[in-house]
Amino acid sequence: MKRRLDLQEYKEGVLSGNRMILSQAITLVESNLESDLALASLLVQEILPYTGNSLRIGITGSPGVGKSTFIEAFGSMILEKGKKLAVLAVDPSSQKSKGSILGDKTRMEKLSANKKAFIRPSPAGQTLGGVAAKSREAMLLCEAAGFDVILVETVGVGQSETSVKNMVDFFLLLVLAGAGDELQGIKKGIMEMADGILIHKADGDNLAEAKKAKANYQNALHLFPASESGWTVPVLTASSMSKIGLEEVWKMISSYEAITLESGFKEKNRADQRLKWLDENLQYLLGNRFSEHPKIKSKLQAERIKIQNGEVSPLALARELIAMFFEPTN
């Protein structure tokens, strides 16, 4: 049986940029085992002073928009600029088998082969926000390991996808042109949260449609309230296949970074994100403790059939279970 690393070994391995130990540390923070949760908490606390120096970029968009293709091309360009790059790619988990395809490494072959890049696919599991439950912790570990830029690829545009906004500095929305109803297909909430919109696959026969879509998106953005950061959201076009427009995307993100650093918005935003992270952890830990409570599990099992048959109100049972959870123990 493989020996478990101790706290100091994890810390020293991560801070020295050891890829194998970094991967093991991310596996540790993703674990739901009680013993792992305690060690993971200590590790994140230990590496916290060495975090915060990277540029965090969230990348979202509907399935088929080419997020992985874009990340491979864009990431390769970032590496050419002498940056160290980490990619946290979240794969959709099956709600039936709870399994995950975890195919991002095969979709980013060139990037995976580059020693200056670190790609970590993680299953989204039951998380609604389109990012893995422990993506924040994984991101902090990558920062402590010395990565300059961290790309967080999300599952796709969904009901709670916008939670990715709460863990990155810049939120890039990828869209496609040519469908004729682009704006109807994108949720207003996600457009309001985007710091930049990129019309992807803008090449060949699709180039004219991309230019038309760009004008449509620019017009639509005028209807939205001004951003708290004071930033005007740009709409760009790019092709990962032909490498056209990628440099402009980097200039846009760099410009945003400079503006928000100078205004103090970047640190304010990160401070707000840390509070949201606290709220999420409280909900997660309380939820775990609640579902593992012996009396709660027994009562749920006994009452489940009544809920299914419509004999008991789910709200009434929920209130009863909450009261049972918080009743004083002698």
Q: Domain boundaries in the chain? A: 1-50, 52-263, 278-326
Strands 85-91 and 196-199: unpaired
Residue 115: pLDDT band (50, 70, 90) is: confident
pLDDT at 187: 63
What is the mean pLDDT of the segment spanning 189-206? 88
pLDDT at 101: 39
Q: Is residue 104 pLDDT above 70, yes or no?
A: no
Rounded CA-CA distance 204/208 in Å is 9
Q: Is residue 273 pLDDT above 60, yes or no?
A: yes
pLDDT one-digit tens code per residue, 49-96: 999 999 999 998 888 889 989 999 999 999 999 999 999 986 544 334
Contacts of 30 (CB under 8 A, 6+ apart): 122, 132, 133, 134, 138
Rounded CA-CA distance 177/192 in Å is 19
Q: Which of 23-32, 109-118, 277-286 has the highest average model confidence (pLDDT)?
A: 23-32
Residue 58: what are its φ and ψ, rounded to 5°? -95, 140
Closest CA to 124 of 140, 102, 108, 107: 102
pLDDT one-digit tens code per residue, 282-294: 887 888 889 889 9
We find that the CATH architecture of domain 52-263 is: 3-Layer(aba) Sandwich (3.40)
In this prediction, what percent of the chain has a pLDDT beyond 70? 83
pLDDT at 186: 61
Q: Say if residues 196 and 234 touch (Cβ distance below 8 Å).
A: yes
In this prediction, what percent of the chain has a pLDDT beyond 90? 55
pLDDT at 4: 78
Q: 64 in helix, strand or coil? A: coil
Question: Length of the chain, please?
Answer: 330
Question: Which one is predicted more confidently, 162 or 219?
Answer: 219
pLDDT at 43: 97
pLDDT at 297: 92
Residue 182: pLDDT band (50, 70, 90) is: low
pLDDT one-digit tens code per residue, 163-172: 678 889 999 9
Instruction: Write out the H or E segment, with its range, that includes residue 55.
Output: strand 55-61
Residue 100: pLDDT band (50, 70, 90) is: very low
pLDDT at 242: 93
Q: Give the fold, CATH level 3, of 1-50.
A: 1.20.5
Question: Which one is predicted more confidently, 247 or 209?
Answer: 247
pLDDT at 91: 55
Q: 208 in helix, strand or coil? A: helix
